[in-house]
Amino acid sequence: MADELPLLRTPWQLGGLRIPHRVVMGSMHTGLEVGDDGEGLAAFYRERVDGGAGLVITGGLAVSEIGRGGPDYAVLPEAAPRLAVAVRAVHEAGGLIAAQLFHAGRYAVLPEGSVAPSAVPWRAARGIVPRALDGHEVLATIDDFARAASAAHSAGFDAVEVMASEGYLVNQFCSPITNLRDDEWGGDAARRRRFAVELVTAVRGAVPAGMAVLVRMSGNDLMRGSSTPEEINDIALALVDAGVDGISVGVGWHESVVPTVQGSVPRGAWLPEAERIAAVVGGAVPVIASNRINDLRDAERVLERGTVDAVALARPFLADPTIVARSFAGDFTRVNSCIACNQACIDRSLVFQPVSCLVNPRAGRETVFPLELSATRSRVAVVGAGPAGLAAAVDLARRGHAVTLFEAGEPGGQFGLAARIPGKEDYALTVSSALAELDVLGAALSFGVTATTAALAKFDGVIVATGVRPRTIDIPGFDLPHVISYEHAIQQGVPDGPVAIIGGGGIGVDVASFLVESHDERSRALEFSTRFGLGPTDGLARPGSALSGSSGRRAIAPRPGSEVTILRRSGKFGQGVGISSRWVVLSNLRAAGVRMLGGVQYRAITPDGVEVESAEGVELVPARTVIVCAGQVERSGLVDELDAAGIRHLVVGGARHAEGVDAVRATSEALAAAREITTASR
């Protein structure tokens, strides 16, 4: 087999470190950095180094109490003994590890408040104003970074990375938006970057010459009025002069109105920012690109451009700890790809909940759900091949159990529908990788077959993951021929003409996206670049439609947003979509011209549309097609039959409880059920 990743396999030098390949596991805050003896974090990193990670960057380790992003951030040097446990685990597995030195600045969410270069709140701060650091405190903060770097060295870390991107404290000092000072630490671009330079100089001096020092710097703040590209270039050159051994390039602030990591962001959209920094430093130090790269074949394409030295991936290591080993072996079909949903990772970290992964619910819980062969082999049936059923079946098969997966229709369930939504095409990879894994592990796949109690009685246990079906509505005219379910709309398409969508939750906005956004990734990438003024680039986008090809369906042309109206009785539009993605979805729909009409009462559906009443009065919303997105109900008829037959079973996901169900809950329940069903035989 031809090697598809020759450049990624190439070793490289980062200061005094020799890195075995050019895939870096980027920083991710997990919540495992605090709260136990360090074994949870150690197991998390060990599994990823065993899976091929060469250099791991930790989540942000605060350099002081006031620098914590929130209550679940570890602080150096106090946390050094616990972190040393993770360092030893990485080294024992043959990997290298860098400590990311972190100060949240005004982004800190702490009872004692936050500090910043100037007393400028951020837009989500709900009126809380950070306290401006005085001159002595600025110097003390630099000392905090140096002391934390020294502690990292004592704990055995191979490198340190200074977090100077994504709008945190160092980035705040560099930006004219947040640095309004007129002293030695602000007033012009040179003084604004002085904090970063002095800090890196202090860190460099606090660790041995052979210990690598990186900086994660912003290639583009994506904030109106912030540092110009020329000023950012000057920062990069000043950091090289200060002694950094490498630069990792990030983009955007948490408050930016430009999306950076969501699934709708084109693959490789931010590569030009890293390439600009690489050109500026001219090979003086290695430059690492990052953001929206989830396939190592795309990472190889990045290196083929000859501009940057390595690529950092973060969330893909949550989704599949073995992404490097499997990709290097050419086993791409079994890689469990990150789908950029953010629901169990970024969204949880923002509210200080333990981080995991929707498509890999073991992530962050490796000690709770160890992956080891079971002493006894159970015969287990899983009914339903949606995300929950697939998660249960894969875990059972990996632990050596005999698994039969039943699916009455096509595998995929709600993910099969989601994969048809523009920007969610990667959901199909979750299904295909799970099926490939099950095939290799010898599971029996029984598709197009309805599981009966007679067949299920032969197993030691059954997991019911039959999912949900669309909820029907009780509105006069609901049975007219132009009223269809969201499943019908997504699977069969929608006739030309105006459309009214009844229900404005997550499914409703997905259906609207299905109608008005391009189904060609390259077209969307070019639209993204134009919309946000990023220059004419399609990043690493792949041409083609998720609905074209072997399915025989034609690619769907986007319809004018003015033809689409989303109706909602109460609540927020997009309710149920993750907090880091909802605003992006709604922004895209508004930009397309979709009308969102809330606070309505439905009077009737007529051949011409939907008659509603709102505070503005009675209105007929014109519609040639009415799509019902009014929630879901359990598809659980099998459960009563299993109960009556006395067959041991567990019910998970939407089949257990449809109201408010999401795939995070479904796959997590499936993992727990896969463990419980094999704890004792009948």
Q: What is the pLDDT of residues 399-451, one digit of tens each?
A: 999 999 999 999 999 999 999 999 999 999 999 999 999 999 999 999 999 99
% of the chain exceeding 70 in pLDDT = 97
Q: Which homologous superfamily is 379-469+636-676 in?
A: NAD(P)-binding Rossmann-like Domain (3.40.50.720)
Tell me the per-residue pLDDT of 159-171, one tens digit each, with 9 for 90 and over.
Answer: 999 999 999 999 9
pLDDT of residue 134: 98
| 3-state helix/strand/coil string of 248-300 | EEEECCCCCCCCCCCCCCCCCCCHHHHHHHHHHHCCCCCEEEECCCCCHHHHH
Query: With 80 as the cut, is the pLDDT of residue 552 above it?
Result: no
Residue 533 confidence (pLDDT) = 87
Q: Please give the pLDDT value at position 1.
A: 55
The whole-model pTM stands at 0.95
The pLDDT, as a whole number, for residue 544 is 55
Q: Strands 617-622, 609-614: parallel, antiparallel or unpaired by DSSP?
A: antiparallel
Query: Does the pLDDT at position 490 exceed 70?
Result: yes
For 214, half-sphere exposure in the C-beta direction (CA atoms, 13 angstrom radius) is 34
379-469+636-676 matches 472-539+558-630 in fold: no
pLDDT for 186: 98
Give the C-alpha separation, 462 to 379, whole Å: 9
Kindly write down the DSSP assignment for every residue of 167-213, as one continuous string.
TSHHHHHH-TTT----BTTBSSHHHHTHHHHHHHHHHHHHS-TTSEE
Quick one: average pLDDT of 114-132?
A: 92
Section 674-679 average pLDDT:
95
What amino acid occupies position 362? R
Average pLDDT over residues 65-70: 96
Q: What tens digit of pLDDT does each residue of 611-635 get? A: 999 999 999 999 999 999 999 999 9
Catalytic residues: 168
Looking at CATH, the fold of the domain delimited by 472-539+558-630 is given as: FAD/NAD(P)-binding domain (3.50.50)
Residue 180 has pLDDT above 90, yes or no: yes
Q: What is the pLDDT of residue 550?
A: 35
Give every CB contact of residue 331 below 8 A, 6+ residues apart in sequence.
none
- Per-residue pLDDT at 546: 42
Is there a contact between 615 and 586 (Cβ–Cβ < 8 Å)?
Answer: no
How many CB atoms neighbour CB 482 within 10 A? 19
Average pLDDT over residues 374-380: 95
The arithmetic mean of pLDDT across residues 53-72, rounded, is 97
Q: Is the pLDDT of residue 14 over 70?
A: yes
In the prediction, which pLDDT does 555 show? 62
Beta strand 212-220 with 246-251 is parallel
Is 519 within 8 Å of 546 (Cβ atoms)? yes
Label residue 126 by pLDDT band (50, 70, 90). confident
Q: Where are the domains of the chain?
A: 23-261, 379-469+636-676, 472-539+558-630
Fold of 23-261: TIM Barrel (3.20.20)
Residues 652, 392 contacting (CB under 8 angstroms): yes
Q: Is pLDDT of 295 > 60?
A: yes
Q: What is the mean pLDDT of the chain?
A: 95
220 beta partners: 251
The reported pLDDT for the residue numbered 549 is 34
